[in-house]
Each structure stands twice: as C-alpha cells, then as structure tokens.
A and B are shown apart, each in its own frame.
Chain A
C-alpha cells in the first residue's frame, strides 16, 4: 500500500458525508431498486445484526458517524491487504 493510495482513501473518507449524508438527504436519495420496491410493494425485512446499520455509529451525528463507519470498513481492507502481503 503506497502513501498515495492511503492519501486518496483518506480524502475520499473525509468528503464522503458531503455526498452520502448531506446531499443525499437534500434530494431524497433513492436508487432504481428503491423505486421498484415502492412500486412492487416489496418490504425490507426488519432483522438487524449490526449497530452500524446504514453507515451510522450509535450516539454520533450522521456526518461524523459516516466517516467513522467508513474508516472501520477501510480498516478491514487494510488489514486484509497486510495479511495478503505477508502471505505472499
């Protein structure tokens, strides 16, 4: 993992709430599947297994939680990459 790669990831993480939270809320973010689900009356099941559902962290504002959640996800990929590099 190069410094350039990690810098890119960090920048993307820091700007992600602008797109993923602020603008998404502003326009009522809905993807094609959401619209089809509405049309066909499909319902998402209620079962939940994670405290970080939809990239939130309990107790934190959405914008901050989004960055922390993203950082947790990134940590998984960095760990995996380090593991693979050792195993090579």
Chain B
C-alpha cells in the first residue's frame, strides 16, 4: 500500500533536488513566521492529523483516499505558516518511521500537501470566513486538495525521464483529486462546524483572535 505521498523512485534527481530546495527555503521562513507560543498547538494538531491520515477511506471499485488535513490545519491554527510546519512534521514522521512517502520525495510532498494545499485552502477560507464560513471550509478542503493533486501531476510530468507529457500526467492526477476532494472538503467542513459549535475555532478564542497571524 502506497499513499497520496510520493515514494522514492518516482522523481528524478533534478526534480527531487529542486523540490527539496524550495521546500527547505519555504520551511525556514514558515518556522520564523510561526510564533513560539503556538508550537504546542501546532504539534498537537499534527498528531491528530497523523492519526486521521491512518483512516483510509476505501471506495469500492475505484480510487480511494484518506484525509490530508492541510486546509483544516490552517483554519484551526489561524496561520498557513504554522499549518505548513504541522504538515511538514507529519510527513517527516510518516517518511522516517513508516516509509510512507520517500525521503527523496519529501520536498515534493511538503510542497504539495504542506504548501499548495495549505495556501489554497487558507485563501478560500479567508475569502469566505466572514459571511459563509462553512462554504469556505468546504471549498478550501475540496479545491485545495484538487490543486495539490494537480501539482503532483505537474511535478511528475515535468521530468523528461518519465517520458510522458503534462497533457497525460496532469489530468491523470487532477481528475480523481477533483472528485475525491469532495470528501476532503466534507471532512474539513464537519471538523470546522463541530469546533465552531464548541467555540474552539481561533476567531472565537479572544487570545488567538487578537494576535494577527498572517
């Protein structure tokens, strides 16, 4: 069983190196942008996402998926930077302990799930949070994972060594993620709705809401 995570062997050395480099530079800034007092919350969310990712949702006769959680992390932590750190920790534990995602592909996995997914989800959430928070949560999860899957197709298709053009690799990843992303959106909105009900989203907690966390 492999995963949505890219394993070793799929990316050539150039793509692996380039994605590692971009991810490392990004994570350096993300770590600086994450307030220290938010870190316990970041790792606690990462732990919950790690376990949630173990719950695979098998869809009979088709393509399966599991919850990824990048958009949710951004919404709950009220910071896309902190959410990226959370996803990067999850990916590191998965890769090192369980061989879930490759070491050479770690950079690409961080970029897809921890950067692209997190920021698309965050942007849609911020756009809709005030008037339609639940729509924002749903669309953030859905379209975020769709674009993240598309990004993985782009990375695979950009490598000349693979020998398949982008016109094949991008739709092959984009179409199933567009459909499966609906489940990601549904789980994200369910989590956000539940937490809002108990007054646990950042906007409802004065200490967190007061501090601007861009």
Residues of A whose CB lies within 8 Å of any CB of B are 1, 5, 8-9, 12-13, 15-16, 19-20, 23-24, 26-27, 29-37, 39-40, 42-45, 47-50, 52-55, 66, 69-70, 72-74, 76-78, 80-81, 84-85, 87-88
Decide yes or no whether B4 CB sits under 8 A from chain A: yes
Decide yes or no whether B63 CB sits under 8 A from chain A: yes
Residues of chain A with a CB closer than 8 A to B7's CB: 44-45
The 8 Å CB contact of A77, one of B2, B50, B173, B176, is B50
Asked if residues B172 and A72 are in contact (CB atoms below 8 Å), the reply is: no
Minimum Cβ distance to chain B for residue A66 (Å)? 7
The 8 Å CB contact of B153, one of A36, A69, A72, is A36
What's the Cα separation between A30 and B3 when bound, in Å?
8
Decide yes or no whether B55 CB sits under 8 A from chain A: yes
Asked if residues A16 and B43 are in contact (CB atoms below 8 Å), the reply is: no
Asked if residues B99 and A73 are in contact (CB atoms below 8 Å), the reply is: no
Given contacts A27-B59, A49-B96, 15 further A-B contacts (CB under 8 A): A12-B54, A12-B55, A20-B55, A20-B56, A24-B58, A27-B60, A33-B152, A44-B9, A45-B8, A45-B102, A49-B99, A49-B103, A66-B54, A69-B97, A81-B43
Minimum Cβ distance to chain A for residue B190 (Å)? 14
Given contacts A31-B64, A32-B63, A52-B97, contact A74 B51 (CB under 8 A): yes
Query: Chain A at the B interface: mostly helix, strand, loop or mixed?
Result: helix
Residues of chain B with a CB closer than 8 A to A66's CB: 54
Enumerate the 9 nearest inter-chain pairs by beta-carbon distance, A residue then B residue, closest first. Answer: A77-B47, A45-B9, A32-B176, A84-B39, A27-B58, A80-B43, A53-B99, A45-B8, A19-B55
Given contacts A31-B65, A40-B162, contact A8 B56 (CB under 8 A): no
Minimum Cβ distance to chain B for residue A88 (Å)? 5
Residues of B whose CB lies within 8 Å of any CB of A are 1-10, 36-37, 39-40, 42-44, 46-48, 50-52, 54-61, 63-66, 89, 93-94, 96-100, 102-103, 149, 152-153, 156, 162, 164, 168-169, 172-173, 176-177, 180
Asked if residues A19 and B57 are in contact (CB atoms below 8 Å), the reply is: yes
Given contacts A30-B63, A40-B169, A84-B43, contact A16 B55 (CB under 8 A): yes
What's the Cα separation between A87 and B86 when bound, in Å?
17
The 8 Å CB contact of B100, one of A49, A54, A78, is A54
